[in-house]
Amino acid sequence: MLVRHLDDPELISGARAGDSDAYGELYRRHFDAAYAAARTLTRNRSDADDVTSEAFARVLHASQSGGGPDVSFRPYLVATVRNVFYDRLRRNRELPSRNLADAIDFGRPDSTTDWIEGVFASDALASLAERWREVLLLTEVEGLSAAEVAPLLGLSPNAVAALAYRAREGLRQAYNSLCA
């Protein structure tokens, strides 16, 4: 069977078993999301390329070591992008340069306060259970309806709606606790 016909959990299992084609398909499917997250954090292409590459390498290593995501590859990957970015900041002890920003603006915050709120929101999202992050990504970020998400998660549309409601509430509580 061709890997492009497999769902993410099947590809994750294949990658864990050392199937480079399976991991290649996960890379192809989720590169754009990882790169967009890296661009938002780093604000320049060079650093975004480095962060994205390192995040994929870390996820591959974790998967081959028996760790990593089980079901939801994209939320795990985006959280890894964030962790790589923060690790680089700690290592370099400097903030990314705003002078190197490219012509394309992927939603740069208007103020330091906006940036800090974004960090709190990112940390709140990362603190959620993987299933909650996945349903939020699919419904809120990707804009899919509960009916569209249902077959992806193996749930009924009503169960997806209930899960999304609980996930939004959990995100709200996590964000408020970080900001308090």
Cα 180 from Cα 160, distance rounded (Å): 30
Rounded to 5 degrees, φ, ψ at 70 are: -105, -40
Q: Is the per-residue pLDDT at 110 higher than 60?
A: no
The residues near 68 (Cβ < 8 Å, ≥ 6 apart) are 12, 16, 59, 62, 76
DSSP the chain: --GGGS-HHHHHHHHHTT-HHHHHHHHHHHHHHHHHHHHHHH-SHHHHHHHHHHHHHHHHHHHHTT-S-SS-HHHHHHHHHHHHHHHHHHHHTSPPPGGG--S--S---SSHHHHHHHHHHHHHHHTS-HHHHHHHIIIIIS---HHHHHHHHTS-HHHHHHHHHHHHHHHHHHHHHHH-
pLDDT confidence of 129, banded at 50, 70, 90? confident
Cα 134 from Cα 138, distance rounded (Å): 6
Q: Which of 88, 78, 86, 23 is nearest to 55 (CA)?
A: 78
Q: Is the per-residue pLDDT at 145 higher than 80?
A: yes
Is the four-CA dihedral 55, 60, 63, 67 of positive or negative sign? negative
* Per-residue pLDDT at 99: 40
Rounded mean pLDDT, 172-176: 85
* Per-residue pLDDT at 113: 54
* Per-residue pLDDT at 112: 53
* Per-residue pLDDT at 31: 94
pLDDT confidence of 96, banded at 50, 70, 90? very low
* Per-residue pLDDT at 114: 58
pLDDT confidence of 104, banded at 50, 70, 90? very low
| All structural domains of the chain | 1-108 (1.10.1740.10), 111-180 (1.10.10.10)
* Per-residue pLDDT at 29: 92
